[in-house]
Amino acid sequence: MTVRHFLRDDDLTPAEQAEVLALARELKANPFSRRPLDGPRGVGVIFDKNSTRTRFSFEMGIAQLGGHAVVVDGSKTQLGRDETLQDTGRVLSRFVDAVVWRTFGQERLEQMAEGATVPIVNALSDQFHPCQVLADLQTIAERKGELAGLRLTYLGDGANNMAHSLLLGGVTAGMHVTIAAPLGFAPDPVVVDAARVRAEQTGAMVTLVDDPQAAVAGADVLVTDTWTSMGQEEDGLDRVGPFRPFRIDADLLAKAAPDAMVLHCLPAHRGEEITDEVLDGPQSAAWDEAENRLHAQKALLVWLLERTESRP
Protein backbone atom coordinates (compact mmCIF):
# COMPACT_ATOMS: atom_id res chain seq x y z
CA MET A 1 0.00 0.00 0.00
CA THR A 2 1.29 3.49 -0.84
CA VAL A 3 -0.42 6.60 0.42
CA ARG A 4 0.64 10.15 -0.34
CA HIS A 5 -0.45 12.86 2.07
CA PHE A 6 -0.09 16.64 1.72
CA LEU A 7 0.35 17.96 5.25
CA ARG A 8 3.00 20.58 4.52
CA ASP A 9 4.55 22.14 1.44
CA ASP A 10 7.75 20.08 1.48
CA ASP A 11 5.76 16.85 1.28
CA LEU A 12 6.15 17.45 -2.47
CA THR A 13 9.65 17.36 -3.94
CA PRO A 14 10.54 20.16 -6.35
CA ALA A 15 9.80 17.90 -9.34
CA GLU A 16 6.49 16.77 -7.83
CA GLN A 17 5.41 20.32 -7.06
CA ALA A 18 6.15 21.23 -10.69
CA GLU A 19 3.97 18.30 -11.85
CA VAL A 20 1.05 19.47 -9.69
CA LEU A 21 1.40 23.04 -10.97
CA ALA A 22 1.52 21.88 -14.58
CA LEU A 23 -1.66 19.87 -14.01
CA ALA A 24 -3.30 22.88 -12.32
CA ARG A 25 -2.62 24.93 -15.42
CA GLU A 26 -4.04 22.16 -17.62
CA LEU A 27 -7.18 21.90 -15.47
CA LYS A 28 -7.71 25.66 -15.53
CA ALA A 29 -7.73 25.50 -19.34
CA ASN A 30 -9.90 22.39 -19.44
CA PRO A 31 -11.81 22.11 -16.11
CA PHE A 32 -13.85 18.99 -16.83
CA SER A 33 -11.13 16.85 -18.41
CA ARG A 34 -10.36 14.65 -15.40
CA ARG A 35 -12.90 12.49 -13.51
CA PRO A 36 -10.92 10.32 -11.05
CA LEU A 37 -13.77 10.46 -8.54
CA ASP A 38 -16.49 9.27 -10.93
CA GLY A 39 -18.97 7.01 -9.19
CA PRO A 40 -19.25 9.21 -7.25
CA ARG A 41 -16.36 8.49 -4.94
CA GLY A 42 -16.23 10.64 -1.85
CA VAL A 43 -13.86 13.15 -0.26
CA GLY A 44 -14.32 14.23 3.36
CA VAL A 45 -13.87 17.97 3.90
CA ILE A 46 -13.74 18.87 7.59
CA PHE A 47 -13.59 22.36 9.10
CA ASP A 48 -12.55 23.07 12.67
CA LYS A 49 -12.16 26.76 11.72
CA ASN A 50 -14.14 29.15 9.54
CA SER A 51 -13.67 29.24 5.77
CA THR A 52 -15.09 30.77 2.60
CA ARG A 53 -12.58 30.09 -0.20
CA THR A 54 -11.40 26.69 0.97
CA ARG A 55 -14.95 25.47 1.48
CA PHE A 56 -16.21 26.60 -1.93
CA SER A 57 -13.12 25.63 -3.91
CA PHE A 58 -12.86 22.11 -2.50
CA GLU A 59 -16.57 21.37 -2.74
CA MET A 60 -16.79 22.59 -6.35
CA GLY A 61 -13.47 21.03 -7.30
CA ILE A 62 -14.49 17.61 -5.99
CA ALA A 63 -17.77 17.85 -7.92
CA GLN A 64 -15.88 18.74 -11.11
CA LEU A 65 -13.69 15.66 -10.62
CA GLY A 66 -16.84 13.54 -10.59
CA GLY A 67 -16.96 13.03 -6.83
CA HIS A 68 -19.05 13.90 -3.81
CA ALA A 69 -17.76 16.12 -1.00
CA VAL A 70 -18.90 15.25 2.51
CA VAL A 71 -18.45 18.67 4.10
CA VAL A 72 -18.70 18.73 7.88
CA ASP A 73 -18.13 21.04 10.83
CA GLY A 74 -15.52 19.21 12.91
CA SER A 75 -17.13 20.29 16.18
CA LYS A 76 -20.23 18.28 15.24
CA THR A 77 -18.20 15.07 14.80
CA GLN A 78 -16.44 12.78 17.30
CA LEU A 79 -13.07 14.33 16.30
CA GLY A 80 -11.01 15.08 19.36
CA ARG A 81 -13.82 13.98 21.63
CA ASP A 82 -13.32 10.40 22.69
CA GLU A 83 -11.82 8.74 19.62
CA THR A 84 -8.18 8.89 18.64
CA LEU A 85 -7.38 10.76 15.46
CA GLN A 86 -5.62 7.62 14.16
CA ASP A 87 -8.87 5.68 14.57
CA THR A 88 -10.85 8.43 12.84
CA GLY A 89 -8.39 8.29 9.93
CA ARG A 90 -8.80 4.51 9.73
CA VAL A 91 -12.59 4.75 9.69
CA LEU A 92 -12.89 7.64 7.23
CA SER A 93 -10.63 5.71 4.83
CA ARG A 94 -13.42 3.11 4.54
CA PHE A 95 -15.88 5.76 3.29
CA VAL A 96 -13.94 8.28 1.24
CA ASP A 97 -10.94 8.41 -1.10
CA ALA A 98 -9.30 11.42 0.56
CA VAL A 99 -9.77 13.64 3.60
CA VAL A 100 -9.27 17.40 3.49
CA TRP A 101 -9.04 18.93 6.95
CA ARG A 102 -8.74 22.49 8.32
CA THR A 103 -7.72 22.33 11.95
CA PHE A 104 -5.50 23.75 14.69
CA GLY A 105 -2.25 21.91 15.55
CA GLN A 106 -0.26 20.26 12.77
CA GLU A 107 0.13 17.19 14.98
CA ARG A 108 -3.58 16.52 14.61
CA LEU A 109 -3.16 16.10 10.85
CA GLU A 110 -0.11 13.89 11.41
CA GLN A 111 -2.07 11.68 13.80
CA MET A 112 -4.97 11.26 11.39
CA ALA A 113 -2.49 10.45 8.60
CA GLU A 114 -0.96 7.70 10.78
CA GLY A 115 -4.24 5.81 10.75
CA ALA A 116 -5.47 6.73 7.27
CA THR A 117 -5.06 4.62 4.15
CA VAL A 118 -6.20 7.48 1.88
CA PRO A 119 -4.51 10.87 1.32
CA ILE A 120 -4.91 13.46 4.08
CA VAL A 121 -4.73 17.05 2.84
CA ASN A 122 -4.00 20.04 5.07
CA ALA A 123 -6.60 22.72 4.33
CA LEU A 124 -4.87 25.06 6.86
CA SER A 125 -3.40 24.38 10.26
CA ASP A 126 -1.87 26.78 12.76
CA GLN A 127 1.53 26.02 11.20
CA PHE A 128 0.94 25.64 7.44
CA HIS A 129 -1.45 26.50 4.60
CA PRO A 130 0.06 24.48 1.75
CA CYS A 131 -2.99 24.38 -0.57
CA GLN A 132 -3.02 28.18 -0.56
CA VAL A 133 0.63 28.30 -1.54
CA LEU A 134 0.08 25.94 -4.48
CA ALA A 135 -2.53 28.45 -5.72
CA ASP A 136 -0.10 31.30 -5.04
CA LEU A 137 2.62 29.60 -7.09
CA GLN A 138 0.20 28.99 -9.94
CA THR A 139 -0.74 32.69 -9.87
CA ILE A 140 2.88 33.84 -9.85
CA ALA A 141 3.69 31.53 -12.76
CA GLU A 142 0.76 32.97 -14.74
CA ARG A 143 2.14 36.50 -14.44
CA LYS A 144 5.87 35.87 -14.34
CA GLY A 145 6.51 32.59 -16.14
CA GLU A 146 9.47 30.80 -14.60
CA LEU A 147 9.31 30.66 -10.77
CA ALA A 148 12.93 29.76 -10.04
CA GLY A 149 15.05 32.79 -9.30
CA LEU A 150 12.17 35.17 -8.54
CA ARG A 151 12.37 37.22 -5.33
CA LEU A 152 9.32 36.86 -3.10
CA THR A 153 8.93 38.98 0.05
CA TYR A 154 6.27 38.20 2.66
CA LEU A 155 5.43 40.98 5.12
CA GLY A 156 3.57 40.44 8.37
CA ASP A 157 3.36 37.70 10.96
CA GLY A 158 6.42 35.61 10.18
CA ALA A 159 5.31 32.86 12.54
CA ASN A 160 1.94 32.16 10.95
CA ASN A 161 0.80 29.45 8.56
CA MET A 162 1.21 31.55 5.41
CA ALA A 163 4.75 32.64 6.23
CA HIS A 164 5.77 29.05 6.95
CA SER A 165 4.14 27.68 3.81
CA LEU A 166 5.58 30.41 1.60
CA LEU A 167 9.02 29.59 3.00
CA LEU A 168 8.76 25.87 2.28
CA GLY A 169 6.70 26.06 -0.90
CA GLY A 170 8.56 29.06 -2.27
CA VAL A 171 12.05 27.59 -1.97
CA THR A 172 10.74 24.26 -3.31
CA ALA A 173 9.90 26.23 -6.46
CA GLY A 174 13.40 27.76 -6.43
CA MET A 175 12.28 31.24 -5.38
CA HIS A 176 14.33 33.41 -3.04
CA VAL A 177 12.03 33.97 -0.07
CA THR A 178 12.37 36.87 2.36
CA ILE A 179 10.23 37.02 5.49
CA ALA A 180 9.90 40.53 6.94
CA ALA A 181 8.32 40.47 10.38
CA PRO A 182 8.45 42.60 13.53
CA LEU A 183 10.73 41.46 16.34
CA GLY A 184 9.03 38.64 18.23
CA PHE A 185 7.12 37.43 15.14
CA ALA A 186 9.89 35.57 13.31
CA PRO A 187 9.22 32.17 11.73
CA ASP A 188 9.64 28.94 13.68
CA PRO A 189 13.38 28.08 13.49
CA VAL A 190 12.53 24.44 12.77
CA VAL A 191 10.62 25.51 9.65
CA VAL A 192 13.43 27.88 8.65
CA ASP A 193 15.93 25.01 8.92
CA ALA A 194 13.71 22.79 6.75
CA ALA A 195 13.38 25.61 4.21
CA ARG A 196 17.17 26.07 4.12
CA VAL A 197 17.69 22.33 3.52
CA ARG A 198 15.22 22.45 0.64
CA ALA A 199 16.71 25.72 -0.66
CA GLU A 200 20.11 24.06 -0.97
CA GLN A 201 18.58 21.57 -3.42
CA THR A 202 16.92 24.23 -5.55
CA GLY A 203 19.48 27.05 -5.42
CA ALA A 204 17.08 29.29 -3.50
CA MET A 205 17.81 31.65 -0.61
CA VAL A 206 16.00 32.23 2.68
CA THR A 207 16.28 35.66 4.31
CA LEU A 208 14.72 36.84 7.59
CA VAL A 209 14.57 40.57 8.33
CA ASP A 210 12.69 43.05 10.49
CA ASP A 211 13.04 46.03 8.12
CA PRO A 212 10.13 46.16 5.67
CA GLN A 213 11.70 48.83 3.45
CA ALA A 214 14.87 46.82 2.85
CA ALA A 215 12.84 43.62 2.44
CA VAL A 216 10.80 44.87 -0.51
CA ALA A 217 13.66 46.55 -2.43
CA GLY A 218 13.67 45.01 -5.90
CA ALA A 219 11.24 42.19 -4.99
CA ASP A 220 9.22 40.55 -7.78
CA VAL A 221 6.37 39.38 -5.55
CA LEU A 222 5.01 40.93 -2.35
CA VAL A 223 2.71 38.85 -0.14
CA THR A 224 0.87 39.69 3.03
CA ASP A 225 -1.76 38.14 5.29
CA THR A 226 -3.86 39.08 8.27
CA TRP A 227 -1.94 40.21 11.34
CA THR A 228 -4.21 38.11 13.57
CA SER A 229 -4.79 34.55 12.44
CA MET A 230 -7.75 32.40 13.41
CA GLY A 231 -7.29 31.25 16.99
CA GLN A 232 -5.12 34.27 17.95
CA GLU A 233 -7.97 36.72 18.52
CA GLU A 234 -7.74 36.50 22.30
CA ASP A 235 -3.96 36.17 22.77
CA GLY A 236 -3.69 39.71 24.12
CA LEU A 237 -0.71 40.68 21.92
CA ASP A 238 -0.55 44.21 20.54
CA ARG A 239 -0.20 43.60 16.82
CA VAL A 240 -1.33 46.89 15.28
CA GLY A 241 1.59 48.95 16.67
CA PRO A 242 4.47 46.66 15.66
CA PHE A 243 2.88 45.58 12.37
CA ARG A 244 2.00 49.03 11.03
CA PRO A 245 5.30 49.57 9.12
CA PHE A 246 4.75 46.22 7.37
CA ARG A 247 1.47 47.26 5.70
CA ILE A 248 1.62 47.10 1.89
CA ASP A 249 0.67 50.56 0.68
CA ALA A 250 1.55 52.42 -2.52
CA ASP A 251 4.79 53.80 -1.05
CA LEU A 252 6.09 50.39 0.00
CA LEU A 253 5.01 48.82 -3.30
CA ALA A 254 6.89 51.54 -5.20
CA LYS A 255 10.14 50.26 -3.66
CA ALA A 256 9.66 46.78 -5.15
CA ALA A 257 10.52 45.92 -8.77
CA PRO A 258 8.52 48.12 -11.19
CA ASP A 259 6.45 45.15 -12.38
CA ALA A 260 6.10 43.56 -8.93
CA MET A 261 2.88 41.66 -8.23
CA VAL A 262 0.99 41.52 -4.94
CA LEU A 263 -0.70 38.51 -3.37
CA HIS A 264 -3.01 38.17 -0.37
CA CYS A 265 -4.63 34.83 0.47
CA LEU A 266 -7.72 36.70 1.72
CA PRO A 267 -9.77 37.53 3.73
CA ALA A 268 -8.13 40.98 3.66
CA HIS A 269 -8.35 43.51 6.46
CA ARG A 270 -8.39 46.56 4.23
CA GLY A 271 -6.40 49.44 5.69
CA GLU A 272 -4.49 47.14 8.05
CA GLU A 273 -2.06 44.78 6.27
CA ILE A 274 -2.90 46.16 2.81
CA THR A 275 -4.50 49.35 1.47
CA ASP A 276 -7.50 49.47 -0.87
CA GLU A 277 -5.32 51.17 -3.46
CA VAL A 278 -2.93 48.23 -3.62
CA LEU A 279 -5.45 45.40 -3.24
CA ASP A 280 -7.69 46.84 -5.96
CA GLY A 281 -4.82 48.10 -8.10
CA PRO A 282 -3.27 46.66 -11.27
CA GLN A 283 -0.38 44.97 -9.48
CA SER A 284 -2.70 42.91 -7.27
CA ALA A 285 -3.32 39.31 -8.35
CA ALA A 286 -5.36 38.44 -5.25
CA TRP A 287 -8.53 37.65 -7.20
CA ASP A 288 -6.80 35.30 -9.64
CA GLU A 289 -5.08 33.81 -6.60
CA ALA A 290 -8.46 33.07 -4.99
CA GLU A 291 -9.72 31.44 -8.20
CA ASN A 292 -6.60 29.34 -8.48
CA ARG A 293 -7.45 27.58 -5.22
CA LEU A 294 -9.98 25.63 -7.30
CA HIS A 295 -7.56 24.60 -10.04
CA ALA A 296 -4.54 23.92 -7.81
CA GLN A 297 -6.53 21.78 -5.37
CA LYS A 298 -8.15 19.75 -8.16
CA ALA A 299 -4.67 19.10 -9.53
CA LEU A 300 -3.41 18.12 -6.09
CA LEU A 301 -6.27 15.66 -5.55
CA VAL A 302 -5.79 14.07 -9.00
CA TRP A 303 -2.05 13.80 -8.37
CA LEU A 304 -2.40 12.29 -4.88
CA LEU A 305 -5.09 9.82 -5.96
CA GLU A 306 -2.94 8.62 -8.86
CA ARG A 307 -0.12 7.85 -6.45
CA THR A 308 -2.19 6.16 -3.75
CA GLU A 309 -2.76 2.44 -4.03
CA SER A 310 -5.15 1.82 -1.18
CA ARG A 311 -8.36 2.11 -3.14
CA PRO A 312 -10.56 -1.01 -3.29
Q: Which residues are annotated as a binding site for carbamoyl phosphate?
A: 51-54, 78, 102, 129-132, 265-266, 293
The closest alpha carbon to 43, from 88, 98, 123, belongs to 98
Q: Residue 93 or residue 226: which is nearer to ligand NVA going by CB? A: 226
Q: Which residue from 57, 127, 139, 161 is in contact with ligand NVA, where contact means CB under 6 A? A: 161
| Closest CB to ligand NVA: residue number | 229
Whether 132 is catalytic is yes
Residues 6+ apart with CB under 8 A from 115: 84, 85, 86, 87, 88, 89, 90, 93
Whether 129 is catalytic is yes
| 70: β partners | 44
160 is a site residue for ligand NVA (CB under 6 A): yes
The torsion region of residue 232 among left (phi > 0), alpha (psi -120 to 50) and beta comes to alpha
- Binding to ligand NVA (CB under 6 A) within 74-133 occurs at 124, 129
**233 vs 204: CA distance, rounded Å:** 34
Q: Residue 53 or residue 151: which is nearer to ligand CP going by CB? A: 53
**18 vs 135: CA distance, rounded Å:** 12
| 179: β partners | 154, 208
**205 vs 21: CA distance, rounded Å:** 21
Q: Which residue from 88, 122, 165, 229 is in contact with ligand NVA, where contact means CB under 6 A? A: 229
SS3 for 42-104 is EEEEEECCCCCHHHHHHHHHHHHCCCEEEEEEHHHCCECCCECHHHHHHHHCCCCCEEEEECC
Alpha helices in the chain (DSSP H): 14-29, 53-64, 85-92, 106-115, 130-144, 161-172, 189-202, 212-216, 240-243, 250-254, 276-279, 286-306
Name the catalytic one among 4, 8, 108, 293. Answer: 293
Site string for ligand NVA, 37-76 (x = CB under 6 A): ----------------------------------------
Q: Residue 107 or residue 146: which is nearer to ligand NVA going by CB? A: 107
**139 vs 260: CA distance, rounded Å:** 13
> Of these partners, ligand CP, ligand NVA, none, which one is at the site of residue 52 (CB under 5 to 8 Å by kind)?
ligand CP
Whether 288 is catalytic is no
**Least gap, CB of 47 to ligand CP (angstroms):** 9
Q: Residue 10 or residue 126: which is nearer to ligand NVA going by CB? A: 126
Whether 265 is catalytic is yes
Name the catalytic one among 48, 164, 225, 295. Answer: 225
Chain residues in the site for ligand CP (CB under 6 A): 51-54, 124, 132, 265-266
Name the catalytic one among 129, 198, 247, 264. Answer: 129
Return the biggest CA–CA distance within the chain. Answer: 57
CB hemisphere CA count around 23 (13 angstroms) = 21
> Of these partners, ligand CP, ligand NVA, none, which one is at the site of residue 172 (CB under 5 to 8 Å by kind)?
none
Whether 127 is catalytic is no
In 3-state terms, what secondary structure has residue 268?
coil
Contact stretch for ligand NVA (CB under 6 A) within 27-35, 224-232, 240-248, 252-260: 224-232
Note whether 275 and 304 are within 8 A (CB): no
Whether 108 is catalytic is no
In 3-state terms, what secondary structure has residue 114?
helix
Q: Residue 54 or residue 160: which is nearer to ligand CP going by CB? A: 54
> Of these partners, ligand NVA, ligand CP, none, which one is at the site of residue 226 (CB under 5 to 8 Å by kind)?
ligand NVA
Instruction: Write out the residues near ligand NVA by the rule CB under 6 A.
Output: 124, 129, 160-162, 225-226, 229-230, 265
Residues taking part in catalysis: 102, 129, 132, 225, 265, 293
